[in-house]
Amino acid sequence: MVSRGGGFSFLDDRVTRLWYVRRAVTVAVLLAIVLGMAGYAVYGYCQRREQEYVYFIRSMSSYYREDMGEGRGGMYGEVVKPVSDDFVKNRDAGAWFGDPVKPGKEGELRHVMDIYNGLYPEKKTNVGEFRRYYGSDWQRHVKESFAGQSNVPQFAHWCYQKADLVYRVDCFDDNDMRYHRGGEAVVLGDTPSNYGYTQGAGIEYRNYELKTDFEAGK
């Protein structure tokens, strides 16, 4: 509206200012919405990354326990170190032990490994490779979903598998109070794992032998 003097009226000025205010408020609201959505997206991304990292930490622990045959007659807690409860709680992948072999247990590990290597010469491994695989290189193996070739996990899995045993020679077995011929399959209520057999081969399982060794005439 033009005033009598030919200029804009006071009312026009108020309308103009009001329009700019509304526009500013609208822009501010839109900006707040955009920033809120961006913040939510960043928060969601951080949450996903945190969840992925926690899952990775738990995977390092669970895959190791599985490979070492925890609760299944494997080497977990016997020859190799158990995973500390604080490892998952502290969420620090860098805190993984560099050497998984328990102090003073290298000789026992080497003995079991020699038996395995004798049975499977095409899948041989050694203590040094074992230490690296489940120690300093373990984080990388889990992160890469165990890509690449290594005989180490096959040895670890063999340790907790049930031993296929036969009688070493013709003998009387105190366990079932029966006489058996050499080469006959051993039937036990609780068959030991391959690792368990190697630990009791000289005493508890002295009359038994791994079927593969018997057939090879060892």
Q: What is the 3-state secondary structure (H, E, C) of 25-76?
A: HHHHHHHHHHHHHHHHHHHHHHHHHHHHHHHHHHHHHHHHHHHCCCCCCCCE
Q: Where are the beta strands (DSSP E) in the chain?
A: 165-167, 171-173, 178-180, 208-210
Same domain assignment for residues 95 and 45 = yes
In 10 A of CB 61, how many CB atoms?
A: 17
pLDDT tens per residue across span 157-207: 999 999 999 999 999 998 889 999 999 999 998 899 999 999 988 888 999
User: What is the C-alpha separation between 62 and 83, in angstroms, rounded?
Assistant: 9
pTM exceeding the 0.75 threshold for the entire prediction: yes
Domain boundary among 157, 183, 205: 157
Q: Give 3-state DSSP helix, strand, coil % of the chain, rounded to 5.
A: 55, 10, 35
Domain boundary among 106, 127, 157: 157
Q: Report residue 45's pLDDT band, with 50, 70 and 90 as the boundaries.
A: low
Q: Tell me how many domains the chain contains.
A: 2
Average pLDDT over residues 91-113: 95
The domain of 174 spans 165-216
- Residue 120 predicted with pLDDT over 90: yes
State the pLDDT at residue 2: 44
Domain boundary among 128, 157, 186: 157
Q: Report residue 22's pLDDT band, with 50, 70 and 90 as the boundaries.
A: confident
Q: Pairing between strand 171-173 and 165-167?
A: unpaired
- Among 41, 72, 38, which Cα is nearest to 157's? 72
